[in-house]
A and B are shown apart, each in its own frame.
Chain A
Amino acid sequence: MSSFQAPEEEELQIENKYLKEKKIGEGTYAKVYRGTERATGRTVAIKKIKLVQTEIGSQGIELSAVREVKCLRELRHPNVIELIDIYSHKSNLKLVLEYLDSDLEMIIKDKSILFQAPDIKSWMLMTLRGLDHCHRNWILHRDMKPNNLLVGKDGQLKIADFGLARDYGDPHAKNMSPQVVTRWYRAPELFFMPSQYGYAVDIWSVGCIFAELLLRTPYLAGESDLAQLELIFKALGTPTEEDWPGFSELARDMKFQKYSRTPLQVHFKAAGSDAIDLLEKMLTYDPNKRINTREALLHSYFRKLPRPTPPDQLPKQQKIQENAIQQNSKPSIQNRGELTEHRNKRKAQEISNKSEKKIHRS
């Protein structure tokens, strides 16, 4: 590529590479379309960033978009969604992403799919590999949850939705926002330490996802922040000063019932001892003692049998496959619609969790 091409020309060329087709989804700050790369016929997702009016009027490129673009431009990994191209058209920013038609939430919820220990191990491995890549590049995801782990036709799992992500590693970073991570996956320190936290928050979320894969239902589904803490303490025991040095100081204005800790094995009967051990290390109260991505990837859970299922042999959603086959005939749109509706319902449930998701968080 020549570096002397004028930016506008370069961008026009990029825009012309893609054909935008129908709308397939809508998030808080973007509309998502299916598209095709003309030259190769490759299906892509085109994410059109809305121009969001905030309480103080428009502020140019949407902050979540800036965050997402900033992170994805740096990350290249098989388990992180690929940002193929970016262009702007009439003051709208468009992100061209690889197209992935399923996600872990759909798979977990689809009770017609059976999955087994090696499958779970495979999803966990891919999640942790992707997350390790983010952390190695000083990027905190801050919104790890099954819905943001997209799954491709080849079974590869990819971390997506970097709208809340930010780069970390600044030794003086203090002004971190506490309003991150959908509540069910939110690490306990986020409820207490509003502005100082680190990579460990993502690990907690992965722990919750691990538990959800084992249980086939969200592990700690609190209905309010306080209820969430109660739930965590009920499940894992109210932290003592020993579990989490400094906890009593952090929680000094709040009173919590003292729950004692039940061994995880009681609740996760089907899980092997290695799985339980890893889960325990991810759901450790003290963020400084919580396992990190590197250590987790080296954990005996991944080294011992059974081996993780190869991605292309992982269980898939029937619906999606039918849908893919029917894509050329018109009625398939209906299927897509149903699917989206299902997600929208689920979304409505989560909306209360997310209502804090405002624009001007830094």
Chain B
Amino acid sequence: MKELFTETSQYRNWFYSKEKLQEIREKNHVSAVERVKQRVLEEAELQKLVSAKSTPTRGEQPERVNSPRLNPSEIEYLKMEDELALCNYYQTQIPLVDSKFPEEIQKNKFTDKVKASAITYVKRFYLRNTMMDYHPRDIMITCLFLAAKTEFSFVPIEDFIKFLTTKATKEVFFDLELIVARSLRYEFTVHHPYLSAYGLFLDMQTALKDAKKIQAIYEKSKEYIHKSLFTDTMFLYQPSQIALATVRIAAKELNFDLNSYFRIKFNSEPKGKLDNLYKILDEIEKIIKEYEPTPLNKAKEIDARLHKCKNPEKNPNSAISRKRKLEREGLEDADHHKKKRIEDEYQKSLEEVFK
């Protein structure tokens, strides 16, 4: 299993050192703020132009996005920590969102694996995107919709709209689905610790006697796996290592000594390797134990600030979006003309052959 992990897309593209992960987030954040700032300025210029012209007829007036009273240079953009905290909040909503669906869907469709993949998708998405472009609430729903598909538990988009009372239409979610898929580089396979934990459970059953206790440890370890999903462990450690760590935490909590089992299991491993493994398990344990969910009031406070610094380009009613749309249509027109010209020339060349 270990060698196989290095063959996965998870290992190739979504597995980092702590430093690298931090660097990715910082660079993503810096470039996001820079870009959004530019768009906000551009929007302000466009808005000025519009209002400078004679009063336009109603309906043509672009919606004032963000707060009109705010001077663009005074806008406070989200900090990296803000985005992380908000991401933390919304990912914890995924298991709660699940509870809004009828029991039958909850039980048969939104399995642990679906929810774990959805959470992973949200986290991976925001390694490459910013909330100032895409609001986490919509992204969270999109990720759950997509994860249900990728984990073969398909739930129609209409159900999401019905049970989650969201304002977004299904077309919005379909657009977002492609945006999410692209951000994930279409790498939908995620390896979670659940399977490894189950393997450990079976292995422990054969190696140790106390079947009841082992069952209890397994159940408890799953709770810690749920919790680990909210942390960065998925980017830093292999699923099998996380599984081992959660089983160890669970055993400790239930006063069960796993040392003898570990000795049987790893007795052929060289000491250096084993020491390293224990170090890793300690690190994982620390991250999981130190995890704190973002409290609702803090999430609300960040969300309020987010509403003041959203990228106007992503609002279809902003002046900048209207301008982009016109530009795009112009391009498509030109493209169409170009194609037509090439086709005409081709036809002409054909005719010439027969002259």
Which segment of A53-61, A154-162, A241-249, A343-351 sits at the interface? A53-61
Please report the C-alpha to C-alpha distance between residue A175 and residue B108 in the assembled complex, in whole angstroms: 9
| Least distance between A186 CB and chain B CB atoms (Å) | 19
B189's nearest neighbour on chain A, judged by CB, is: A74
Closest to B35 in A: A6
Find out whether the CB atom of A170 lies under 8 angstroms from the CB atom of B195: yes
List A residues 56-71 near B (Cβ within 8 Å): 56-61, 63, 66-67, 69-71
A60 touches B182 (CB 8 A): no
Q: Is the C-beta of A148 less than 8 angstroms from some C-beta in chain B?
A: no
B189 touching A70 by the CB < 8 A rule? yes
In the complex, which residue of chain B has the Cβ closest to the Cβ of A8?
B182
Q: Measured between alpha carbons, how far is A57 from B170 in the docked complex, in Å?
A: 11
A-B contact count (CB 8 A): 88
Taken together as a complex, chains A and B put the C-alpha atoms of A71 and B84 apart, in Å, by 31
Beta-carbon contact of A362 and B154 below 8 Å = yes
CA distance A349 to B287 in the complex (A): 59
Given known contacts A6-B31, A170-B195, A91 and B174 CB-to-CB distance under 8 angstroms? yes
A1-24: which have CB < 8 Å to B? 3-4, 6-8, 11
Q: Given A60-B174, A167-B189, A137–B181 Cβ distance below 8 Å?
A: no
Q: How far is the CA of A292 from the CA of B156 in the complex (A)?
A: 36
Instruction: Mark A67-97 against chain B: 1 for CB-CB distance below 8 A, else 0.
Output: 1011101101000000000111001010000
A69 touches B188 (CB 8 A): yes
Residues of B close to A60: CB separation below 8 A = 145-146, 149, 157, 173-174, 177-178
A56 to B162 alpha-carbon distance, docked (Å): 15
A136 contacts the other chain (CB 8 A): yes
Given known contacts A4-B27, A7-B129, A61 and B178 CB-to-CB distance under 8 angstroms = yes
B269 interfacial contact with A, CB 8 Å: no
Whether B113 and A56, one on each chain, are in contact in the complex, defined by CB atoms closer than 8 angstroms, is no
Assess whether B154 is in contact with A7, with CB atoms less than 8 Å apart: no
Q: B175 near A: Cβ within 8 Å?
A: yes
Cβ-based interface call for A263 (8 A) = no
Question: Of A4, A6, A56, A67, which one neighbours B24 at CB under 8 angstroms?
Answer: A4
Among residues of B, the one whose C-beta sits closest to the C-beta of A58 is B174
Cβ of A86: which chain B residues have Cβ within 8 Å of it? 185-186
What is the number of residues of chain B that contact chain A, defined by CB distance less than 8 Å? 40
Assess whether A59 is in contact with B156, with CB atoms less than 8 Å apart: yes
Contact with B along A148-174 (1 / 0, CB 8 A): 000000000000000000110111100
A166 to chain B, nearest CB (A): 5
Given A56-B158, A169-B195, A171-B195 in contact, is the A136-B4 Cβ separation under 8 Å? yes
**A54 and B182 alpha carbons, distance in the complex (Å):** 23
Residue of B nearest to A74 (CB): B189
Decide if B150 is an interface residue (CB 8 Å cutoff): yes
A69 to B150, CA, bound (A): 10
Chain B residues positioned under 8 Å from A57 (CB to CB): 158
Say whether B354 faces chain A, with CB atoms less than 8 Å apart.
no
- Asked whether B128 is an interface residue with its Cβ less than 8 Å from the other chain, the reply is yes
Chain A residues 85-118 with CB under 8 Å of chain B are: 86-88, 91, 93
Nearest CB in chain A: distance from B165 CB, A = 20
Pairwise interchain contact B178-A88, C-beta atoms closer than 8 A: yes
* C-alpha spacing A86/B186, complex, angstroms: 7
A360 within 8 A of B: yes
Closest to A83 in B: B186
Q: What 0/1 pattern do residues 146 to 188 of B give for CB contact below 8 A with A?
A: 1001101110111000000000001001110111011101111
Residues of A within 8 A of B170 (CB): 58
Q: Which residues in window 131-156 of A have CB below 8 A to B?
A: 136-137
Q: Is the interface of B mostly helix, strand, loop or mixed?
A: helix
User: B177: which A residues are within 8 A, CB to CB?
Assistant: 60-61
Contact A63 B128 (CB under 8 A): no
Q: How far is the CB of A168 from chain B (nearest CB, A)?
A: 10
- A73 to chain B: which residues have CB within 8 Å? 9, 186-189
- In the assembled complex, the Cα of A332 lies from the Cα of B28 at a distance in Å of 50
Please judge, given known A-B contacts A7-B128, A73-B186, A74-B8, whether A88 and B24 are in contact too, CB under 8 Å. Answer: no
A4 touching B182 in the complex, CB below 8 Å, given contacts A70-B150, A76-B7:
no
The distance from the CB of A81 to the nearest CB of chain B, in whole angstroms, is 16
Closest to B16 in A: A3
Tell yes or no: B198 within 8 A of A by CB: yes
CB neighbours (8 Å) of A137 from chain B are: 4, 7
Q: Kindly provide the distance from the CB of B154 to the nearest chain A CB, expressed in whole angstroms.
A: 6
Question: Which chain A positions have C-beta within 8 A of B173?
Answer: 60
Question: Which residues of chain B are near A61, meaning CB under 8 Å?
Answer: 146, 149, 177-178, 181
Residue of A nearest to B201 (CB): A171
Given A7-B129, A7-B183, residue A74 in contact with residue B9 (CB < 8 A): yes
What is the distance, in angstroms, from B181's C-beta to the closest C-beta of chain A?
A: 6
Contact A362 B24 (CB under 8 A): no
Q: Using Cβ atoms and an 8 Å threshold, which residues of chain B touch A88?
A: 178, 181-182
A78 vs B334: C-alpha distance in the bound complex, in angstroms? Answer: 43
Which residues from A are CB-within-8-Å of B8? 74
**Residue from A4, A87, A91, A171 in contact with B198 in the complex, judged by beta carbons closer than 8 Å:** A171
Measured in the bound complex, the distance between the Cα atoms of B332 and A124 in whole Å is 49
A6-B182 CB under 8 A given contacts A70-B189, A171-B195: no
Q: Which residues of A contact B195 (CB under 8 A)?
A: 169-171
Q: Which B residue sits closest to A133, measured CB to CB? A: B7
Contact across chains for A69 and B186 when beta carbons are under 8 A apart:
yes
Contacts of A360 in B (CB 8 A): 154
Contact pattern, B 326-337, Cβ under 8 Å of A = 1, otherwise 0:
000000000000
For residue B108, which residue of chain A has the nearest CB?
A175
Smallest CB gap from A171: residue in B: B198
- How far apart are B304's CB and chain A's nearest CB, in angstroms? 26
Q: A74-B9, A74-B189 are in contact. List 18 more A-B contacts (CB 8 A).
A: A3-B128, A4-B31, A7-B129, A7-B179, A7-B183, A58-B174, A59-B157, A60-B146, A60-B149, A60-B173, A60-B174, A60-B177, A63-B149, A86-B185, A91-B175, A172-B111, A175-B152, A360-B154
A-B pairs with beta carbons under 8 Å apart, 26 shown: A3-B24, A4-B24, A7-B179, A7-B183, A57-B158, A60-B174, A61-B146, A61-B178, A69-B186, A70-B189, A73-B9, A73-B187, A73-B188, A74-B8, A86-B185, A86-B186, A88-B178, A91-B175, A93-B181, A136-B4, A170-B195, A171-B195, A171-B198, A172-B111, A175-B108, A360-B154
The 3 A-B residue pairs with the shortest CB-CB distance, nearest first, are A70-B188, A362-B152, A4-B27
